[in-house]
Amino acid sequence: MSSTTFSLGREAADDGSFRRQESQFRRWVANDSEFPPEAGRYHLYVARACPWAHRTIIARRLMGLEDAIGLSFLDPVRDERGWAFTGGEYVDSINGFAFLSEAYLATDPAYDARVSVPVLWDKESGVIVSNESADILRMLGTVFGPLASHAIELYPERLRAEIDALNHRIYDNVNNAVYKAGFSRRQDVYEREVLGLFEMFDELDDRLADRRFLFGANPVETDWRLFTTLLRFDAVYQIHFKCSLRKLIEYEHLWPYARDLYQWPGVATTVDFDEIRRHYYLTHPMINPSRLVALAPAASFDAPHGRESLG
């Protein structure tokens, strides 16, 4: 692949902040829609390196939807052409696309915004159903439930209002905040985002002092939305995006909590730390012009977490 030339483009605001583009394809799989939940009909295009895609990979694994929904991985290192299928394990087994942009243009020939993962593809109609990770995660945990081989609740009905509220805060102050810090172009904007991020970390650390997961004894979708950022924090965001006030390993509860989620059955198999590090350090030359890839932190997600007794 040629040299990486990632650009913020329209997501770089005039005030020096980063404003993430809205997902353009937000249709839903539903029993009464043109996209009913049918085994074998849908396919996920994902990259293990991307935290937004990673949440959908985890949900597919936890729900046991591997036989119902296909999966293709994209190369973690992008050039100016965007996410690509470069051969080997990075092959589109459904359409034979070389670039993910082909799926976007097949759905909308006039599409000219940034191409992102994950993508939920409908093989029957040959279009993208959704490129919004939050929506795909929700669909995997709800409407695809009858096709799942594991009976778990990622979005339990009794907690839905609380889950929605905390999802929103974690998105603004953690998931997207690391990007808003890393891609900011003014000192005051950067400092505001970093300070807000660590205020939220402190709040979450306190919340996890007496409960194993964010809503009790079992992880729900909010935990997995938070996890994919925590997983990448010390290896990437703390260095690459200058979220430097503290490391995850310095938190009394957040760090064991992250290890607990990593060690949850099936989750570790969805993680590729090498792809994560190469993706960020090689794809953002305006942040890392040398394109040197930072060595992995010494702390291990496999270390005992000691949180089994919490309710």
Residues with a known catalytic role: 50, 179
CA gap 297, 32 in Å, rounded = 48
Residues present in the chain in total: 311
Residue linked to tokens 């402190």:
202
Preceding peptide of 285 cis, ω within 30°: no
Quote the tokens at residue 261: 């989620």
Residue linked to tokens 């505001």:
192
Residue 293 — φ and ψ, nearest 5°?
Answer: -100, 120
CA gap 13, 135 in Å, rounded = 26
